[in-house]
Structure 1
Amino acid sequence: MTKEQERARARRRAERLDAKIAAKQAEAARNKQVAAVVAAVLVVVAAFVVIATKMSGDDSPTPAAGGTTSSQPTPSATTAAVAGCKPAPAVPGTKAQLKLPDKKTAAGKTYNAVVSTNCGDITLELDGAKAPQTVASFVQLARQNYFKDSPCHRLTTSGIFVLQCGDPAGGTGQGPGYSFGIENAPKDGTYPTGTLAMARTQDPNSNADQFFIVYKDTKLPTEGGGYSIFGKVTKGLDIVEKIAAAGAAGGAGDGAPNAPISILTVAVTEKKA
């Protein structure tokens, strides 16, 4: 082999080596570009999730139950004076845990419940024929003083018009120690003024202690089974309307009532035929 051939051969080896190095460098550059694009996409997705979370909100009455933690708003320091209301008592906190009562104890029966609040009495009629488990639970909780001094912690004033009550911890409690399923929910999602119904989480079996009073005709989602209607307001709806007129904390359409209202006691009696 001549020297010229050896030099040509060496050049070819050098060229092949340079080509390999260039290929590796190009691959590394592509990997960096891909990583940068992926990172940028992740940032955009994360930003979208944060914005969507802040903008979205569950507009149905869904409290915590069965050991979950509620995201319901806590009472605001901002209060509004409402005629006929006395100062609300301190929030008592989570009460003793109980066992689910037998629905047979309320089946076919009708009860009157006088809910005494710091703003006056609200009288309810409980329908054990249509919602025996729900009524049996409410009667037990009332007679065990479970509701004593518990605040009505949530007011909705936009699209949905309800005052939500029943949790001694103000919407952050663990419930009464049991939960149960949906009864007597309207298929069309219509809840007329004066309706008394159960609040729950997305779990249809999470009915427990929290309930709501509808103070203006309301449509609620039917997905998941709707919300159990177990009675109606027969007297004192004007009290709920006054609380609603004072608005929710911060001017929002969903929050703690500006005018604090708390359940002091609940007296339940069975109506005889």
Structure 2
Amino acid sequence: MRAGSQSNRTARQRLARKEAKEAFARDQRKRRLRDNAFAGAAGALVLALAVALQVFWFSSNPTADDLAALKQEAKAGQNASAIPDPSLAAGRTFTGTLVLNGADIGVELDGSAAPQAAAVFKSLADSSFFDGKDCHRLTTQDTMGVLQCGSLDGTGAGDPDYQWGPVENSPEDGTYPAGTIAVARGASPDSHGTQFFIAYKDSVITQETGGYTIMGKVTSGLEVLEAIAADGVADGGRDGRPSTPVTIDSFTLK
């Protein structure tokens, strides 16, 4: 009887230890699952906070690296190889003629002040890009008077595959004297394209988004622009399509 009791007791102890180990293992598995779930939620929260902080920080305190990244993103999908290198115009002055509705306007582009813009517009002029393009916008406001030209299709639309930057030679006080030739752009400093505008009178333009590149000036024929402006805007407003349709016959630079 004693030997059998000892054997039974040993078997019960073995079973108890086995059950205890299994219970402990189950508890550990539950704990790991709970911890992993918490860690995943915490990680997601940290990631979300990090993204939020990054967006906030970037929007309020952009660094040079941030701006460089934004510039790269803005150029994504465009044919960047088509943008002329600014070295092609640096230190050079290009002179030529812009012919509007058969009337000559003498122009000069300053590659020292705006090498990227001068390189782009010299290249476009050399390729006869502007020939036959319309000047789609006339502004006759009290403080601003400009004629804008060079749209891809004459409606004011740009070419999303031909965008470049940065803004060059922008006046700090926002003053664009009569005869100024400047580059039009979208909201981004790297959204220049093929459009330009000419101030036919002294103009003040807001500089809130970085201003506009002054790339040159009219050297003769400003009266051609003044006559177009005198005819006003097509719908009688102060900013829109000119009443007198304006077409670029040619734009030559040398």
Sort the TM-score into its range (normalised by shorter chain). 0.5 to 0.7
Q: Deviations over 1:24-63 (max 9, x none)?
A: xxxxxxxxxxxxxxxxxxxxxxxxxxxxxxxxxxxxxxxx
1:194 Cα deviation after fit? 0.6
1:255 matched residue in structure 2: 240
Whether the 8 Å contact between 1:66 and 1:175 is mirrored in structure 2 is no
Higher relative contact order (CA 8 A, sep 6+): 1
Q: Deviations over 1:113-148 (max 9, x none)?
A: 211221411111100000000000000000111111
1:180 Cα deviation after fit? 1.6
Task: From the superposition, tell whether residues 193 and 206 of structure 1 become closer, same or farther in structure 2 (CA, over 3 Å).
Answer: same
Q: C-alpha separation between the residues in 1 aligned to 2:179 and 2:84? A: 26
1:230 equivalent in alignment to 2:210:
no
1:176 Cα deviation after fit? 6.2
Say which SS state the counterpart of residue 82 (structure 2) adopts. Answer: coil
1:118 equivalent in alignment to 2:101:
yes
1:173-252 superposed matches below 5 A: 173-174=158-159, 177-252=162-237
Quick check: 176-185 or 109-118, which moved more?
176-185
Larger gyration radius, structure 1 or structure 2: 2
1:236 Cα deviation after fit? 1.1
Q: Deviations over 1:63-101 (max 9, x none)?
A: xx979xxxxxxxxxxxxxxxxxxxxxxxxxxxx997000
1:163 equivalent in alignment to 2:147:
yes
Q: C-alpha separation between the residues in 2 aligned to 1:266 and 1:162? A: 18
2:119 matched residue in structure 1: 136
Task: From the superposition, tell whether residues 163 and 225 of structure 1 become closer, same or farther in structure 2 (CA, over 3 Å).
Answer: same
Q: Deviations over 1:245-267 (max 9, x none)?
A: 00001110000000111111111
* Structure with the higher fraction of residues in helix conformation: 2
Q: C-alpha separation between the residues in 2 aligned to 1:248 and 1:97? A: 36
1:156 Cα deviation after fit? 0.3
2:223 partner amino acid: D
1:247 partner amino acid: G
Whether the 8 Å contact between 1:167 and 1:175 is mirrored in structure 2 is no
Q: C-alpha separation between the residues in 2 aligned to 1:249 and 1:66? A: 35
2:176 partner amino acid: Y
Whether the 8 Å contact between 2:96 and 2:106 is mirrored in structure 1 is yes
- State, as a whole percentage, how many aligned pairs show the same letter: 46
1:177 Cα deviation after fit? 2.0
Whether the 8 Å contact between 1:99 and 1:178 is mirrored in structure 2 is no
Say which SS state the counterpart of residue 122 (structure 1) adopts. Answer: strand
Aligned-residue Cα RMSD (Å) equals 2.0
Q: C-alpha separation between the residues in 2 aligned to 1:66 and 1:161? A: 31
Structure 1: stretches of 5+ with no match in the other structure:
1-64, 68-95
Whether the 8 Å contact between 1:119 and 1:261 is mirrored in structure 2 is no
Give the alignment's TM-score, normalised by structure 1: 0.62
Task: From the superposition, tell whether residues 176 and 265 of structure 1 become closer, same or farther in structure 2 (CA, over 3 Å).
Answer: farther
Q: C-alpha separation between the residues in 2 aligned to 1:232 and 1:264? A: 19
